[in-house]
Structure 1
Amino acid sequence: MVWLNRVLLYATKPKKPLRAYKKTGFLDSIRIYVKAGAGGHGLPKFGGIGGQGGNVVMIADENLSLNDVVKQHKTKRLVAVNGKNSSHNFILGPPGADATMQVPVGVSVYTDEGKNLGELNEAGQQLIVARGGPGGHPKNGFLGVIGQARSVRLDLKLIADIGLVGFPNAGKSTLLKAVSHARPKIASYPFTTIKPNVGQLMYKDLRQISMADLPGLIEGAHMNKGMGHRFLKHVERTKLLLLVVDINGFQLSPQHEHRNCLDTIVLLNKELEMYKKDLIDKPSMVIINKMDSEGAQEKYNQVVDKIRHLDEAIMDYPEEFRPERTLKFDEIVPLVAKQRDDEPKIGASIEYVKDRLRKLLDVHALPDQGKQIDEDVKLKSKLEGELVERARKLV
């Protein structure tokens, strides 16, 4: 009777409606079941070979999101067609049709065991995630082989030129809104950004640079605290890290210790390093925001030299806070991201920030272009040598 009362009470209890962001949230990972087609049986009497089973193929499309993928494939199942059996009319059995799925650019495909099947980083790129079974032939007793079947995880990592990194309420969304046409949610409380936003920086010569605003990190993000790994992974594919810090520092809650401006930079450096050490090698720039607050200029003068020599400044911190390697900032820019035109200018202008970001991306792209040219020259020389050697043998 007690159990029945509890059931009835639970059934009549009004449920809280889902929050808006949970209804239309940003998907960056989905799991689907894929099954390739089985090969058709052969025909031993005439030596017929069965048709190859169809593959399951992912195709990258830059105009899609994982939300679109879920809408198009509500069952989250993708099954290819089996190959046809060999017959008197078709000694070579017709192959089964492939099953294709359009996915966003930037998707990595993993098995349940964690094996990386491949990445789709360019529009039109294709990846076979389940191979069809071969048809029946003399070596397998003319029996068709079943195709691969498994569950795979599509893991999306945003591809952007610039990644905004910082603690909550540092002004990342405000900066993105100021430099681009993006309209992220902005408010005066932490964790306003609950899903990544991507904006395009537009220039007069029609150049476009993409910037990703990621939800604010907290201490321990590398251990998956807060939104941790779910959004740190999006930083991996950016070309330049743009740290945004509040000149007044940050305090997550009254129970947490207040961190000053320099502390937040050191902790962000530590979190990035603990998540993936390669991130420290990325080009970086830091913006000291909210320079219109009281005493901001004095605080800036006290920390700017320490930020320039961060490798020396970290020696004053306890070992548990001290990163092994430090970010090398190409520039330190004081800024008021939320500044109206009728107010006196404080710090750098938004146009200056856009110009510097463009120049930094171009400067750091030059070594990569040089490496590619060297590789092309070496390949050309190698091919010329092989052709000459073959010509000698023919003579």
Structure 2
Amino acid sequence: MVFLTRTLYYAKKIEQIEKPMRKYLRKGFLDHLVLNVRSGAGGSGFPRFGGMGGRGGHVFLEAKDDMTLKSVDNKLKNIKLQAGTGSNSTAHGLIGQPGEDITIRVPTGVTVYDRNKILIGEINEPNSKLMVAEGGIGGCKETDFCGRKGRSRVIHLDLKLISDVALVGFPNAGKSTLLKTVSRAAPKIAEYPFTTVKPNIGTMVFQDMRKISMGDLPGLIEGAHRNVGMGYSFLKHIERSKMMLFVVDIQGFQLSARHTRRNCLETIVLLNKEIELYKPDLLEMPAMVLINKMDTPGAEDIFESILPKLERLDDFVSECPEEIRPEKVVTFETILKTSLINTSKNEINFIKKRIRETLDKCVEREEHEEEDENSVVKLISKLQKGSEQVAPNLV
């Protein structure tokens, strides 16, 4: 009887371990996909007349805005991704026809790696193409008129969303509520952490038909730079945004009883630290902060006390616990406060307006900096050419 009880106990444990992933984690948004592709072999040459075989077909990826990795996965199931073989050289056609290329449509914003995680390339512009497997060359004198084999390759497609604004914050700070408030997106909202388990993209539409896209991404926790929690699933999607929008609870954040409670300012500093540890260059990106849940007790007093420190966050960092202090501190272009649960239409429009103004100001500033940099480069080039023309010849 004891033996049977133990057997049932361990069987139950194994069943728990092997329990499949919940449906909402298995389905829906997909930001990583692995494909097996093969380019075509080259055709044989014609030694007698020096004929060349046709090259094998190439495998290309082409970026399309209307595609998702989920649709790519569904479309390519049970399909052999192999390009055509080049035709042989003959007495009637000394140059063989090339094999048929295949083009796989993928979302804009895909980074492609091989099986060893070596970068193959990126596709960041709509309709741009990337060759991921080159066809074998056709038979010729250099190959003893034997066509070369095609290339078999495992490629990893890693999608990094392209949005104007990336929402940054800990779980349950109000990112999904903000997205739902300012756009027509319908993300899941609840009073517990990790309601967002897959990215959501919403679009703010203005009366003059201007559109600004906003990405609500899985919430961070301490250790996200080490891929703890949603980790890389969140951080990698910031990279192609134009601006970060920090969304923070005025009362601070504590994931669970086992975690340290952080006040509002410490929360911002910790978010800064996690981004820095993942990729310091991201902190060069323009940023603004929205302090949420201003309807909670004591919120106004807390905000008044932290506002001067938010405006000079660099000076405040030294007061934070050493383990969360970043070396590089984010600078906020705009500081807003609100209660997203109780926002009026006028307040929503005000938030949208400030996001637009901040984004446009930052983009305009970057364009001017690029123009100034290009002007300096042109001036240096012109001076160098001038010095070359007047330089004396030494005999």
Same structural fold, with TM-score higher than 0.5 when normalized by the shorter chain: yes
Q: Secondary structure at the match of 1:320?
A: helix
Give how far 1:377 is off: 11
Normalising by structure 1, report the TM-score. 0.89
Superposed, which structure 2 residues align to 1:1-395 within 5 Å? 19-75=22-78, 77-339=80-342, 341=344, 349-370=347-368, 373=371, 375=374
Give how far 1:368 is off: 3.7
Map Cα deviations across residues 126-163 of structure 1 (whole Å, 9 max, x no partner). 00000001101111211111122110100000000000
Partner amino acid, structure 1, of 2:240: R
Q: Secondary structure at the match of 2:282?
A: helix
Give how far 1:76 is off: 6.7
Give how far 1:367 is off: 3.5
Q: Is the 8 A contact 1:175 1:338 kept in 2?
A: no
Q: Structure 1 pair 74/139, CA: closer, same or farther in 2 (3 Å)?
A: same
Q: Is the 8 A contact 1:53 1:82 kept in 2?
A: yes
Map Cα deviations across residues 208-246 of structure 1 (whole Å, 9 max, x no partner). 000000111000000000010122100011000000000
Distance in 2, Cα, partners of 1:17 & 1:114 = 27
Q: Secondary structure at the match of 1:191?
A: coil
Q: Is the 8 A contact 1:134 1:145 kept in 2?
A: yes
Partner amino acid, structure 1, of 2:309: K
Kindly report structure 1 stretches of 4+ aligned residues shifted beyond 6 Å: 13-17, 376-383
Map Cα deviations across residues 354-393 of structure 1 (whole Å, 9 max, x no partner). 111111221121244335656499789989x99xxxxxxx
Distance in 1, Cα, partners of 2:21 & 2:238 = 29
- Structure 2: 5+ residue stretches without partners: 386-395
Q: Structure 1 pair 367/147, CA: closer, same or farther in 2 (3 Å)?
A: farther
Q: Is the 8 A contact 1:70 1:76 kept in 2?
A: no
Paired position in structure 1 for 2:388 = none
Distance in 2, Cα, partners of 1:287 & 1:77 = 49
Q: Secondary structure at the match of 2:262?
A: coil
Give how far 1:309 is off: 1.1
Q: Structure 1 pair 77/156, CA: closer, same or farther in 2 (3 Å)?
A: farther
Q: Structure 1 pair 281/382, CA: closer, same or farther in 2 (3 Å)?
A: closer
Q: Secondary structure at the match of 1:150?
A: strand
Give how far 1:19 is off: 3.3
Distance in 2, Cα, partners of 1:340 & 1:332 = 17
Deviates more, 1:280-289 or 1:251-260: 251-260
Aligned pair count reads: 374
Q: Structure 1 pair 379/214, CA: closer, same or farther in 2 (3 Å)?
A: same
Q: Is the 8 A contact 1:39 1:146 kept in 2?
A: yes
Partner amino acid, structure 1, of 2:279: K
Task: Give me the CA root mean square deviation.
Answer: 2.6
Distance in 1, Cα, partners of 2:264 & 2:204 = 27
Q: Is the 8 A contact 1:185 1:192 kept in 2?
A: yes
Q: Is the 8 A contact 1:32 1:77 kept in 2?
A: no
Distance in 2, Cα, partners of 1:309 & 1:135 = 65
Give how far 1:34 is off: 1.1
Distance in 1, Cα, partners of 2:79 & 2:320 = 49
- Structure 1: 5+ residue stretches without partners: 387-395
Partner amino acid, structure 2, of 1:165: V
Give how far 1:115 is off: 1.4
Distance in 2, Cα, partners of 1:367 & 1:146 = 52
Map Cα deviations across residues 5-63 of structure 1 (whole Å, 9 max, x no partner). 98xx78xx899686331342311001111111111110000110000100000010100
Distance in 1, Cα, partners of 2:179 & 2:68 = 21
Give how far 1:319 is off: 2.7
Partner amino acid, structure 2, of 1:370: H
Distance in 2, Cα, partners of 1:135 & 1:19 = 50
Deviates more, 1:56-65 or 1:20-29: 20-29
Distance in 1, Cα, partners of 2:225 & 2:62 = 31
Map Cα deviations across residues 153-193 of structure 1 (whole Å, 9 max, x no partner). 00000000000000000000001111111111111111111
